[in-house]
Chains A and B, each alone.
Chain A
Amino acid sequence: MRQALRALGWATKVLWVLIIFFAATVIYSALNFRMGFGEPRATFSNGVVVMSFPLLIDNHGYYQVSDLNLTTRLIDNEGNLVSTSTTIVPLIAYSSNLEKSHNISLSLSNLNLTYFLFEDSNFEADLSIAMKFARAVSLQVATDMIIPWGAPLYNFSVGEMTYRFNGTHYLGAVPISFENHSSFLNVTGAIRFEIYNNRGEFVGSGEKIVDVPSYSGCGDQIELIVNDPAKITTSGQASVSFETSMFSFGPMVVPYG
């Protein structure tokens, strides 16, 4: 019995030492695990904006990290879920570096464009990272972030229409202005105008090709041919459509005058 008790005592002591050693090395490994994001890149195709974040992982611990799961959920200003993106890294070996891309896709068709093209807003991003150290200790970190959204057609306004006669036709000129507050959407394409007088009668139409890069403004005028000058009134409505390389929107009715 005494020998058995002694053996049991030693076994307990050895196991305690092993547990403490394991705990210490896991904590040390966790402290030597680094994760960060590189410079994001935005690409656009078929009405979907893809923001690509390079995910830089540096595991300099003693244990492998497994089941790394990075999930991003984008929620618009009305609380609607507009995008969910997940990146999974099954295994990160010890003493190794890894680079992976985390892509957040945002389909413009999921957005209320009437609001997001013209008003600056915020998206709420729910970020969640989960991983397992040494296949024994799981860690999950979650946070909410606010991502500002810059409207590409911020403060879009139509000024008072002016007319002139060029000898053959009456030409109207409608001043337009807006600011591109978006960090990644360029407004490059056509703005189409159809003018209706205050009685709702068609007055004329015109088109303007614009190229307004990010963080710049546009102040221009659209010329349109007026077929019947008798229909011209000082106020009325303009039907505006946008056809750009990144989005199509319209027709939208804007009062003028």
Chain B
Amino acid sequence: MVKAEDRREGLLKRIAPRVLKASLWGFLTFLMYYIPYQLLVLPMLMFPQFFSFEIQPIFYTFVALAVFFAVAIQFFSGTILQYVLGVARALILMTYLIYALNGGILTLTPNVGGETFTIVVEFRAFLMMIILVSLLSLAKSILQTINFLASEKESSSFQDT
């Protein structure tokens, strides 16, 4: 009975700081996206005909994914899951960026003074830069996973001998 209670207390002692750290990281990540979001809202309010509020759900999903991964990675820090989640984050955010930015071609049809405009912004080169850096992050996460596994193997070998 005492042992079970001790174990629970030990588990709580180990988990509580992780939860706290993960929550803090989640909040910081949210803040990191909240400020640019506010900057995004300003032109949306000033020029609603140009910047549609339809982009809000896309942005919310992006922030939700970023916050989720920030929390999960911090929660599982020091375990293999931290790196696996890092790989998953790089892959998912990369795919989501390509989807949300429509492959680097955005079309807007604002109505200004009764005239309908068609605005096409093509930034595939820019998106390519983002993808390449994301691939670098992905490579880093994979290397971190390999490094983690290697160091685990190394420490277990030392313990065996």
Does B122 count as interface, using CB distance less than 8 angstroms?
yes
How many Å from the CB of B2 to the closest CB on chain A? 42
- Of all chain A residues, the one with the shortest Cβ separation from B107 is A140
A-B contact count (CB 8 A): 67
Does A5 count as interface, using CB distance less than 8 angstroms?
yes
Q: Which of A1-42 contact B (CB under 8 A)?
A: 1-2, 4-5, 8-9, 11-12, 15-16, 19, 22-23, 26
Contact of A12 among B119, B120, B123, B140 (CB under 8 A): B140
How many Å from the CB of A222 to the closest CB on chain B? 45
**Residues of chain B contacted by A136 (CB below 8 angstroms):** 123, 125-126
**Residues of chain A contacted by B143 (CB below 8 angstroms):** 1, 4-5, 8
Is B126's CB under 8 angstroms from A1's CB? Answer: no
Quick one: given A19-B130, A23-B126, are A5 and B120 in contact (CB under 8 Å)?
no
Q: Give per-residue flags for B120-141: 1 if the beta carbon is below 8 A from chain A beta carbons, else 0.
A: 1111011001100100110110
Determine the main DSSP class of B at the interface with A.
helix
Is B116's CB under 8 angstroms from A144's CB? Answer: yes
- Of all chain A residues, the one with the shortest Cβ separation from B125 is A136
Is B121's CB under 8 angstroms from A143's CB? Answer: no
A2 to B146, CA, bound (A): 11
* Chain A interface category by residue count: 20 to 34
A247 to B137, CA, bound (A): 70
A18 to B126, CA, bound (A): 12
Is A2's CB under 8 angstroms from B123's CB? Answer: no
Quick one: given A8-B143, A12-B136, A19-B133, are A142 and B117 in contact (CB under 8 Å)?
yes
Is B118's CB under 8 angstroms from A15's CB? Answer: no
Does B147 count as interface, using CB distance less than 8 angstroms?
yes
Does A80 count as interface, using CB distance less than 8 angstroms?
no
A138 to B120, CA, bound (A): 8
- Of all chain A residues, the one with the shortest Cβ separation from B144 is A5
How many Å from the CB of B153 to the closest CB on chain A? 13
A139 to B118, CA, bound (A): 10
**Residues of chain A contacted by B24 (CB below 8 angstroms):** none
A1 to B116, CA, bound (A): 57
Contact of A143 among B115, B120, B144 (CB under 8 A): B115
Does B31 count as interface, using CB distance less than 8 angstroms?
no
Does B92 count as interface, using CB distance less than 8 angstroms?
no
**Residues of chain B contacted by A5 (CB below 8 angstroms):** 140, 143-144, 147
Does A145 count as interface, using CB distance less than 8 angstroms?
yes
**Residues of chain B contacted by A137 (CB below 8 angstroms):** 121-123, 125-126
A215 to B80, CA, bound (A): 83
Is B147's CB under 8 angstroms from A2's CB? Answer: yes
How many Å from the CB of B144 to the closest CB on chain A? 6
Is A139's CB under 8 angstroms from B121's CB? Answer: yes
Is A15's CB under 8 angstroms from B140's CB? Answer: no
Q: Which of A111-131 contact B (CB under 8 A)?
A: none
**Residues of chain B contacted by A1 (CB below 8 angstroms):** 143, 146-147, 150
**Residues of chain A contacted by B122 (CB below 8 angstroms):** 137-140
The CB with the most chain B CB atoms within 10 A, among A2, A22, A26, A137, is that of A137
Q: A9-B140, A138-B120 are in contact. List 8 more A-B contacts (CB 8 A).
A: A5-B140, A5-B147, A8-B139, A8-B143, A12-B136, A19-B133, A138-B121, A143-B118
Which 10 residue pairs spanning A and B have beta carbons closest together? A138-B122, A140-B120, A136-B125, A8-B140, A142-B118, A15-B133, A137-B123, A143-B117, A1-B147, A12-B136
20 A-B residue pairs with CB within 8 Å: A1-B147, A4-B143, A12-B137, A15-B129, A15-B133, A19-B133, A22-B126, A22-B129, A136-B125, A138-B120, A139-B120, A140-B121, A141-B118, A142-B117, A142-B118, A142-B120, A143-B115, A143-B116, A143-B117, A144-B116
Using a CB–CB cutoff of 8 Å, the interface residues on chain A facing chain B are 1-2, 4-5, 8-9, 11-12, 15-16, 19, 22-23, 26, 136-145
Using a CB–CB cutoff of 8 Å, the interface residues on chain B facing chain A are 115-123, 125-126, 129-130, 133, 136-137, 139-140, 143-144, 146-147, 150
